[in-house]
Amino acid sequence: VVREATLAGVVLELLVLREDVRFDVPAERTAVLSERLFNSVSTTVTPQGVIAVARWQAVPFEKALARARERGWPLVVLDGVQDPGNVGTIVRTAAAAGAPAVAFLEGTADPLGPKAVRASAGNVFRIAVAEARWQDMEAMKGLEVWGAAAEGGEPLDEAPIEGAGALVLGSEAHGLRHGGVRKVTIPAAEGVESLNVAAAAAVLLFELRRRQAA
Q: Which residues contact 171 (CB under 8 A, 6 or more apart)?
A: 79, 80, 81, 82, 107, 108, 177, 197
Q: Is residue 49 a contact residue for ligand SAM (CB under 6 A)? A: no
Type of residue at 44:
T
Q: Is residue 76 a contact residue for ligand SAM (CB under 6 A)? A: no
Q: Is residue 101 a contact residue for ligand SAM (CB under 6 A)? A: no
Compute the least distance from the CB of residue 176 to ligand SAM, in Å: 5
Q: Is residue 195 a contact residue for ligand SAM (CB under 6 A)? A: yes
Compute the least distance from the CB of residue 135 to ligand SAM, in Å: 20
Q: Is residue 94 a contact residue for ligand SAM (CB under 6 A)? A: no
The answer to whether the CB of 29 falls within 8 A of the CB of 15 is: yes
Q: Is residue 109 a contact residue for ligand SAM (CB under 6 A)? A: no
Q: Is residue 194 a contact residue for ligand SAM (CB under 6 A)? A: yes
Compute the least distance from the CB of residue 169 to ligand SAM, in Å: 4
Residue 163 DSSP label: G
Which of these, 111, 173, 185, lies nearest to 147 by C-alpha position?
Answer: 185
Type of residue at 191:
G
Q: Is residue 131 a contact residue for ligand SAM (CB under 6 A)? A: no
Q: Is residue 110 a contact residue for ligand SAM (CB under 6 A)? A: no
The answer to whether the CB of 147 falls within 8 A of the CB of 153 is: yes
Q: How far apart (Å, rounded) are the C-alpha atoms in residues 52 and 41?
A: 12
Q: Is residue 85 a contact residue for ligand SAM (CB under 6 A)? A: no
Residue with Cβ nearer ligand SAM (12 or 169): 169
Type of residue at 182:
R
Q: Is residue 111 a contact residue for ligand SAM (CB under 6 A)? A: no
Residue with Cβ nearer ligand SAM (45 or 192): 192
Contacting residue, 87, 137, 149, 164, with ligand SAM by CB under 6 A: 149
The answer to whether the CB of 50 falls within 8 A of the CB of 23 is: yes
Q: How far apart (Å, rounded) are the C-alpha atoms in residues 67 and 155?
A: 28
Contacting residue, 148, 161, 164, 167, with ligand SAM by CB under 6 A: 148
Compute the least distance from the CB of residue 118 to ligand SAM, in Å: 21
Backbone angles phi, psi at 18, to 5 degrees: -75, 145
What's the Cα-to-Cα distance from 50 to each of 18, 117, 124, rounded to whole Å? Answer: 7, 14, 18
Judged by the rule CB under 6 A, the positions of this chain that interact with ligand SAM are 148-150, 169-170, 172, 175-176, 185-186, 188, 194-195, 197, 200
